[in-house]
Amino acid sequence: MTLNNPPWIILETPRLRVRSWTESDRDLFREINADPKVMEFFPFRRSHQESDALLDKLNGSIRDTGLGFYALELKSSGESIGFCGLSHPNMPEIFPAETVEIGWRLATRFWGNGYVTEAARALMDFAFREKAIPALLAFAVEANHRSTAVMKRIGMRPWPQMDFDHPRVPDTHPHLKRHVVYAATAGSLGR
């Protein structure tokens, strides 16, 4: 499947474009899904074929629903660096169907620059103001302090009563099962 060109821009921040995926993003998406550091808290890495199939699915979701894990692009260079987005977690045994999560992933060479925080703050505002989504959740493996630090920086709060063992993490990876949940509402952020 060939991805839409030119990209559909969701929003812009001072340094980033948040947009749909393009064909030229495939190598970066493959890199992220195969990198052991990026995927440290996931039970598996994805092959090129698996990454390509997931990328096509993500772009289809963006096109069909307006929600998805959007590509992040540096405005200064046009280079894609990872993703940040809004999506339904599709875990009915854990969350109601209308639940929307915010999530992210960056190539390691772009870590430490505040890009995820910048994109996630803008997407939270977009979710609450433009999409009228009443609440957002984020979840991560309990030991994933990098992700939970972002959750705190963007104004999310722990919601320990919703912490859960991820149903799609195999028993062969017990250290990756327990997930902590953070939440924010438009009201909690003063919007």
Lookup: tokens for 45:
């890495």
What's the confidence (pLDDT) of residue 64?
87
Per-residue pLDDT of the chain (191 residues; tens, 9 = 90+): 556 556 789 999 999 999 999 999 999 999 999 999 999 999 989 999 999 999 999 888 888 888 999 999 999 999 999 999 999 998 999 999 999 999 999 999 999 999 999 999 999 999 999 999 999 999 999 999 999 999 999 999 999 999 999 999 999 999 999 999 999 998 775 44
Q: What contacts 105, CB < 8 A, 6 or more positions away?
A: 32, 38, 69, 82, 83
Evaluate whether residue 1 is within a structural domain: no
Which residue segment(s) compose the domain that 92 sits in?
A: 9-189
Q: Is residue 73 part of a domain?
A: yes
**What pLDDT is attached to residue 188?**
72
185 forms beta bridges with 135
For residue 43, the cross-strand partners are none
Number of domains the chain contains: 1
CATH number at residue 165: 3.40.630.30
Residue 92 φ then ψ, to 5°: -60, -25
In this structure, is residue 110 part of a structural domain?
A: yes
Whether residue 29 lies inside any domain: the answer is: yes
CB atoms within 10 A of CB 166: 16
Whether residue 21 lies inside any domain: the answer is: yes
pLDDT at 190: 47
Please report which residue ranges of 19-178 form alpha helices under DSSP H.
Answer: 26-34, 48-65, 115-125, 145-153
Q: How many whole angstroms separate alpha carbon 72 and alpha carbon 12?
A: 10
Query: What is the pTM for the complete model shown?
Result: 0.92
Inside any domain, residue 108: yes
The CA distance from 175 to 140, in Å, is 12
Q: Considering the domain boundaries, does residue 3 fall inside one? A: no
Report the Cα 18 to chain-centroid distance in Å: 12
Residue 135 is predicted with a pLDDT of 96
Please indicate, yes or no, if residue 60 is contained in any of the structural domains.
Answer: yes
Q: What is the pLDDT of residue 3?
A: 67
Separation CA 182–CA 187 (nearest Å): 15
